Amino acid sequence: MSKLISIAIPAYNNLELLDRALQSIVNQTYRPIEIIISDDNSPKNLQPVVNKYINLKLKDLEFKYFKNLENLSFYGNTYAAFSKCTGEYGMYLHHDDYFTDNNCLTHCVEILDRNKNVHIVITNSIVEHYLNTMMTWNYDGWQFINGQKYVTEYLYSIAHPSFSSVVFDRNFLQLLGYNETYILPTEYRTKKIHFDEALIFIILLCLNGDVAINGKVYTFRGSPPDSYSRSNDWGLLGGSIGGMIPLLNFYFLETKENNRKIILNVILKVYSNLKFQDLRFLPVLLKKYGNYKILIPIFMVSIIMHYKAKLLKVFSLRALKDSIKNLLFN
């Protein structure tokens, strides 16, 4: 009997894009599928779109709709959807994303079923507007990589996936304590910040097994003009600190020393771009974790790197202007 896969869909206020996403799930050849739609208290009524598919009464396809009583923001709504999943396997599909290959789930589940040390499958996706692929990973077919090697060498570089191009062993993720331990509580909402999850679930699974990766495009990553990732809130209420805080939380809660080194390396490599205003989170994190030796250097190095990059940009522009003047007048 095929294993149930849960698809968690954080949705907000866009009926047309949600309809497109749900239709792409219906088109999948794999069954059974559980679809969790978490409506983040949208002003528009999304229920009719979901009812359209519920009323089809399709075999081995179950649509479940939930509406938050208050707006939880992208981070909170993502995990509201995830928390209601019951399948052995799982994936996220943001409401503006959709499948481009009807065999995506069939192919991904086959890999998970046949390879007991593989807990996560990563595929490629096309990015809306840019029409380029999310990953520049050029290998055809499935490649199997040690998970720690993937995090240190490929994640945040040539094989950096979108949420919606990842299928994972949800049961194993839960056994690792993801839901209870690594998802941040709402305490930071008082600090007026929106979190970027920073792919914690991917890193956690990779640190505890192998990863199967394929350069083939299976999904489309939507990025409409009114999406959160293209809004001012992304920078004003998230930005670098929005990704660093979940990773710091992950780092301090991880118990294996080698894993902690890998997580710290990711933080230093990717999130060295903080601004002075981000220092307001340092007292909160020091109170929570109490590790001055780690937190203070990370914040200071990150801020220095941010302004160093700005200075280099200014001087490079000056050098460019001088070169143009020399060409024109000499």
In contact, 222 and 94? CB cutoff 8 Å: yes
Is it the case that residue 228 has pLDDT exceeding 60? no
Instruction: Name the least confident of 30-34, 128-132, 231-235, 251-255.
Output: 231-235
* Residue 321 banded pLDDT, cuts 50, 70, 90: low
Which residues have CB under 8 Å from 309's CB, separation 6+? Answer: 273
Residue-level pLDDT at 327: 55
Across the range 65-71, mean pLDDT stands at 95
Residue 316: pLDDT over 80: no
How far apart CA 8 and CA 93 sit, in angstroms, is: 6
Among 32-46, 59-73, 238-252, where is mean pLDDT lowest? 238-252
- Cβ atoms within 10 Å, residue 181: 12
State the average pLDDT over residues 164-172.
97
112-134 pLDDT, tens digit per residue, is 999 999 999 999 999 988 888 99
pLDDT at 157 over 80: yes
- Per residue in 14-24, pLDDT (tens digit) is 999 999 999 99
Measured distance CA(207)–CA(171) in Å, rounded: 16
Mean per-residue pLDDT, 179-205 = 84
Contact (CB, 8 A) for 194 and 287: no
| CA angle, residues 99, 140, 28, in degrees to nearest 5 | 20
Those residues whose C-beta lies under 8 Å from the C-beta of residue 67, and which sit 6 or more positions away, are: 38, 39, 41, 42, 46, 47
Residue 283 neighbours by CB under 8 Å, 6+ apart: none
Rounded Cα distance, 253 and 250, in Å: 5
Q: How many helices (H) and strands (E) would you count in the chain?
A: 12, 9
Q: Name the 3-class secondary structure at 16.
A: helix
pTM of the model: 0.90
Segment 255-268 shows an average pLDDT of: 94
- Residues 115 and 214: their CA atoms lie apart, in Å, by 15
Q: Is the pLDDT of residue 212 over 80?
A: yes
